Amino acid sequence: MKKTCEWPTGDKDMIEYHDKEWGVPLHDDRRLFEYLLLDTFQAGLSWRTILKKRENFRKAFHGFNPGKIAKYTEKDFKRLVNDAGIIRNKLKILGTIENAKRFLEIQKEFGSFDKYIWRFTGHKTIKNNFKELKELPAKTRESDAMSRDMKERGFKFVGSTICYAFMQGAGMVNDHTIDCFRYKEVQRI
C-alpha cells in the first residue's frame, strides 16, 4: 500500500482529489478560476463538503465560466440562492460574481490569470519538506502578499488562509508530506 498524506483518508472523493489534483501545478485559467470559486465557498467549511458539491457548483455556475458569471443578473443571483445543490451563502455568491469580474480584468491586464497569480511564487512551485500534517502552515508571506494584492483589486473572500489553500490546490506549493507517494510525483510535473 502506498504511503499518503494523512488528511484524505477514508473518503473516496478526498482520496481521488489528493491522488490526482492536489498540488499539481495548474496553469489553465478556467481551472484556476474553478479553484478560486471553490475556495471562496470553502471558507469556514470543510473541503470534503465542497468536493461533494463540486459537480453541482459546475452546473450552477456555467462550468466555472468567468465571462458568463461576470454577467450574472439579479435573476441569476436568486437562482443560486435557491439552489440546494450548492452552498447558498448570499455573500459568497455575490463575492463569486465580483471575483469573476476582477478575474477578467486580471486577464486583460496580464494576458492571463496564470501569469498574474504565479508571480507570487516567482512562477515556480515552492517545494516544502514537511514530515507531518501539523507542520503545514495556514498562511505564508506569499499568501499574505497574494491576499493583499487581490483585495486591493477588489476580490472578495481572499484572505491569506484562503489564498494559501488555493496555492496548495493549484500546485503553487508542494505541501504533500515527504513520505507521501505524490510528493515526488508532483515535482516531476
pLDDT at 188: 79
Structural contact between residues 189 and 144, judged by C-beta atoms closer than 8 angstroms: no
* pLDDT over threshold 90, residue 158: yes
pLDDT of residue 147: 98
Query: Would you state the pLDDT for residue 135?
Result: 95
Q: Count CB-CB contacts under 10 A for residue 52.
A: 13
| Per-residue pLDDT at 187 exceeds 90 | no
Tens of pLDDT, residue by residue over 55-114, are 999 999 999 999 999 999 999 999 999 999 999 999 999 999 999 999 999 999 999 999
Alpha-helix residue ranges (DSSP H) falling in 66-159: 66-69, 74-81, 90-110, 113-117, 141-152
Q: For domain 12-187, give the CATH superfamily.
A: Hypothetical protein; domain 2 (1.10.340.30)
Q: What is the pLDDT of residue 69?
A: 98
List, in order, residues 6 or more apart from 66 with CB less than 8 Å away.
30, 33, 100, 103, 104
Say what percent of the chain tops pLDDT 70. Answer: 100
* Domain-wise residue ranges, the chain: 12-187
For residue 7, the 8-state DSSP code is T
Task: Write down the pLDDT at residue 33.
Answer: 98
